[in-house]
Structure 1
Amino acid sequence: MKKHGYHHGDLRAALVTAAIRLVAEKGPRGFTAQDAAKLAGVVPSALYRHFADKEALLAAAAEEGFDQLRESIGKTKSLEELGLAYLQFAVQQRGHFEIMFLAGIEPSAFPTLGRSATAAFDAFAEAVRSASQAGVDLEIRLAGLWSLFHGFSLLAHGGDLGRVGFRRSPEELLQAAIRRFLATE
């Protein structure tokens, strides 16, 4: 990211992008707000024109991530597609995923983040409802699928599945696990 003097353009977006990149490389605690400012091409004090601190910067990045996850979820037509969209988000949007779920940011401390997180979960719940037949216990299905999708996503995100010797791809494993879960309801 190039420095453009005082008129940076969209400095807020550049700082969020820098934070996401740094988290993907170093983890949510592996960088400073000053590192994000430097990567965005501005002096550290410029960051504080848009964010109170590093946590507020990460909250903005998490909000963006939940909005993107909600969009991905909204495009799915089946429970398998839903699971794969969740998994692909975790792997392809590594920085967002870590900020959203591993940075320890409390959504209730940031109202717009809280709304984005709730909207993403609501989209997930609606996708599960619309792909379910009448008579299914939706609460059990929702909790079970969310646990399954999130667990697989965490394992794939961290590379743990390959590290312990699973030969199939995370996508293949998740699809088989979804079918098994649905068959045992």
Structure 2
Amino acid sequence: MTKRGYHHGNLRAALIDGCLRLIEIRGPTGFTLSEAAREAGVTPAAVYRHFAGREDLIAAAAQEGYAIFADLMDHAFADGQPSALAAFGATGRAYLAFARRYPGHYIAMFESGVSINHSPELHAVATRAMGVLEKAAAALSQHIPADKRPPAQMFSAHVWAMSHGVVELFARGNPGRTSPFPPDDLLETGIGIYLRGLGLLDPDT
């Protein structure tokens, strides 16, 4: 992430960047608003021009993250994929890529305890982001007979849970948590097992 220094009219963005750097180092509860202000190069009082408290600042970081995440997921889904299966797999890989490239945003979104209902804007962009995975699941599930087809929301939630688990356990560099297999391979094989169970992949694929 490129650091956006504070300039006149850019205070909000500078504070979000400072928050994200602190989240990466200390976690979402390991810093104060005063420290976020210092990281941005402004006085603590300046924070309150844009944010009511630390949760409000973290929610803004999460909102920014969801917007980036939604764009990445949407691009993965729509980028000339040859089939619904390929598009679905691409969204899973995009999830891992986002977690690696934007760790501060990822933590703010999924590990800070800030609800997506914190604001209408945060809820809207979070819904759009996860809606891409649901759209990919809905397209792929059309290949399952209607009487055996799981709801698209359930389908996407299962894959989201697998993706999140791989990120948390093996893609974040947590000490003591290693796997002999790359995180991408773990996710791909896990999704493959799930899709075979639904009859969407041949047993020997």
| Structure 1 length-normalised TM | 0.89
Shift of 1:158: 3.7
**What is aligned with 1:141?**
155
Letter in 1 for 2:51: F
Provide the residue aligned with 1:84 in structure 2: 93
Q: Which residue of 1 aligns with 2:181?
A: 168
Structure 1: gaps (5+ residues): none
State the partner residue of 1:68.
68
Q: 1:165 to 1:149 in 2, by over 3 A?
A: closer
- Aligned counterpart in structure 2 of residue 115 of structure 1, from 124, 137, 157: 124
Q: Quote the offset at 1:8 in angstroms.
A: 3.0
Letter paired with 1:15: L
Is this contact kept in 1: 2:134–2:155, CA < 8 A?
Answer: no
Higher mean displacement: 169-178 or 60-69? 169-178
- Decide whether aligned partners of structure 1 residues 32 and 152 sit closer, same or farther in structure 2, where only a CA change above 3 A counts: same
- Mean Cα deviation higher: 110-119 or 38-47: 110-119
How far, CA to CA, are the matches of 2:124 and 2:58 in structure 1?
15
Percent identity among equivalent residues?
36
How many Å separate the matches in 1 of 2:178 and 2:170? 12
1:184 aligned onto 2:193: no
CA RMSD of aligned residues (A): 2.0
Q: Which amino acid aligns with 2:190?
A: A
| Counterpart secondary structure, 1:73 | helix
What is the CA–CA distance in structure 2 between the aligned matches of 1:64 and 1:18, rounded to whole Å? 13
**1:109: how far off?**
2.6
Residues 30-75 of structure 1: CA deviation (Å, up to 9, x unaligned):
1111111111111110111011111111110000011111111101
Letter in 2 for 1:167: P
> What are structure 2's unaligned runs of at least 5 residues?
78-86, 199-205
Higher RCO, 1 vs 2 (CA within 8 Å, ≥6 residues apart): 1
**Change in 2 beyond 3 A, CA 1:25/1:126:** same
Q: C-alpha displacement at 1:2, in angstroms? A: 8.8
- 2 CA distance for matches of 1:47 and 1:150? 32
* SS of residue paired to 2:76: coil
Superimposed CA distance per residue, residues 82-124 of structure 1 (whole angstroms, 9 cap, x where no aligned partner): 1111011112211111111111112223221111111112122
Q: How much has 1:143 moved relative to structure 2?
A: 2.4
Change (3 A) 1:165 1:59: closer
SS in 2 for 1:98: helix
Describe how 1:119-130 pairs up with structure 2 within 5 A.
Answer: 119-130=128-139
Find the aligned partners of 1:117 and 1:42 in 2 and give their Cα distance: 30
| 1:153 counterpart (164, 167, 176) | 167
Q: Does the CA-based 8 Å contact 1:18-1:39 persist in structure 2?
A: yes
